[in-house]
């Protein structure tokens, strides 16, 4: 992996005409590594690099000779200045780290049901910490898979939050319906009105759940009455 030093402005450049006319500064090429290449658009030796992107402008490609200059600078800096070379973790470690972040996101998403705001703050804080950690490691020459880990963390957190929140809603609805149906033997008409009011305020699937609990409770009461008659 190439640890770029800079764009074309980071290197001394001279055009061919200046070389042929002996117009270069004194000792400009002495004890230097000289690369000869073209940066003309017609040569079609242009590549996109991390320095090509601009926030509002179009991407500006870099010619191959400057990419070679970055490669040579990296090799010399690693040998003379102990500049760290770009390395990566083994694939097994990357997969293991991805699993760990997915589990952390799942745990955080499940815990966020009690406090959505605290869960959101924790999610954003962890993402920022992960970005900061990856940047610090990048400065030390270590490349980690940031995007898969972050996506796994965020998606697992959102998924577990949605599933846990839905389970909590269903549990609350079950308890509410059963608590209302407990008054059916004493006030059947009022109880039916209350259950119907509860049912109309829910979505279709939740309405089916209320209907199922009501039917089960009524069947249980019916079986008790038949036993008492016998």
pLDDT in tens, 98-130: 888 888 888 887 777 667 777 788 888 888 988
Q: What is the mean pLDDT of residues 177-201?
A: 79
Asked whether residue 65 is domain-assigned, the answer is: yes
Neighbours of 121 (CB within 10 A): 12
Could you list the residue range(s) of the whole structural domain that residue 187 is in? 182-229
Residues 67 and 128 in one domain: no
Residues 81 and 93 in one domain: no
Structure tokens that stand for 53 in this block: 């992107």
Asked whether residue 207 is domain-assigned, the answer is: yes
Give yes or no for a contact between 103 and 47, defined as CB atoms under 8 angstroms apart: no
Structure tokens that stand for 229 in this block: 């008659």
Asked whether residue 77 is domain-assigned, the answer is: yes
Residues 76 and 145 in one domain: no
Q: Answer with the one of 69, 85, 101 that is the final residue of a domain.
A: 85
Asked whether residue 164 is domain-assigned, the answer is: no
Q: Which of 87, 149, 160, 84 is nearest to 119 (CA)?
A: 160
Nearby residues of 118 by Cβ (< 8 Å), 6 or more positions away: 112
Q: Is the pLDDT of residue 63 over 60?
A: yes
Q: Answer with the one of 85, 107, 134 that is the final residue of a domain.
A: 85
Neighbours of 214 (CB within 10 A): 21
Neighbours of 10 (CB within 10 A): 13
Nearby residues of 140 by Cβ (< 8 Å), 6 or more positions away: 84
**Per-residue confidence (pLDDT) for residue 123, from 0 to 100:** 83
Neighbours of 52 (CB within 10 A): 14
Structure tokens that stand for 159 in this block: 């998924």
* Cα 94 versus chain centre, distance: 15
pTM of the model: 0.60
Neighbours of 217 (CB within 10 A): 18
**Per-residue confidence (pLDDT) for residue 227, from 0 to 100:** 63
Give dist(CA 56, CA 47) in Å, integer.
19
Asked whether residue 41 is domain-assigned, the answer is: yes
Asked whether residue 174 is domain-assigned, the answer is: no
DSSP helix/strand/coil, 220: helix
Q: Cα-flanking dihedrals φ and ψ of residue 63, to 5°? A: -70, 155
Q: Answer with the one of 28, 52, 85 that is the final residue of a domain.
A: 85
Neighbours of 153 (CB within 10 A): 24
Residues 78 and 98 in one domain: no
Asked whether residue 121 is domain-assigned, the answer is: yes
Half-sphere exposure of 105 (CA within 13 A, CB side): 23
Residues 191 and 205 in one domain: yes
Give dist(CA 72, CA 33) in Å, integer.
9
Domain count for the chain, please give it: 3
pLDDT band at 72 (very low <50, low <70, confident <90, very high): very high
Q: Is the pLDDT of residue 68 over 90?
A: yes
Q: Is the pLDDT of residue 209 over 80?
A: no
Residues 105 and 124 in one domain: yes
Asked whether residue 217 is domain-assigned, the answer is: yes
């Amino acid at each position: 992996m190439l640890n770029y030093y800079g764009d074309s402005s980071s290197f001394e450049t001279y055009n061919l005409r200046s070389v042929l006319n002996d117009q270069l500064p004194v000792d400009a090429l002495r004890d230097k590594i000289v690369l000869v290449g073209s940066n003309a658009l017609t040569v079609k030796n242009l590549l996109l690099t991390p320095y090509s992107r601009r926030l509002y402008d179009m991407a500006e490609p870099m010619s191959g000779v400057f990419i070679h200059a970055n490669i040579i600078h990296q090799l010399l800096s690693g040998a003379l200045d102990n500049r760290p070379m770009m390395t990566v973790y083994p694939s097994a470690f990357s997969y293991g780290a991805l699993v760990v972040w997915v589990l952390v996101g799942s745990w955080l998403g499940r815990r966020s049901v009690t406090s959505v705001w605290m869960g959101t703050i924790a999610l954003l804080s962890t993402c920022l910490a992960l970005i900061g950690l990856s940047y610090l490691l990048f400065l030390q020459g270590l490349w980690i898979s940031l995007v898969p880990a972050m996506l796994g963390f965020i998606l697992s957190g959102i998924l577990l939050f949605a599933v846990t929140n839905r389970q909590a809603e269903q549990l609350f609805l079950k308890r509410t319906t059963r608590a209302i149906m407990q008054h059916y033997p004493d006030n059947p008409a009022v109880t039916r009105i209350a259950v119907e009011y509860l049912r109309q305020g829910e979505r279709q699937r939740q309405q089916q759940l209320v209907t199922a609990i009501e039917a089960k409770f009524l069947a249980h009461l019916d079986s008790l009455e038949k036993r008492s008659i016998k």
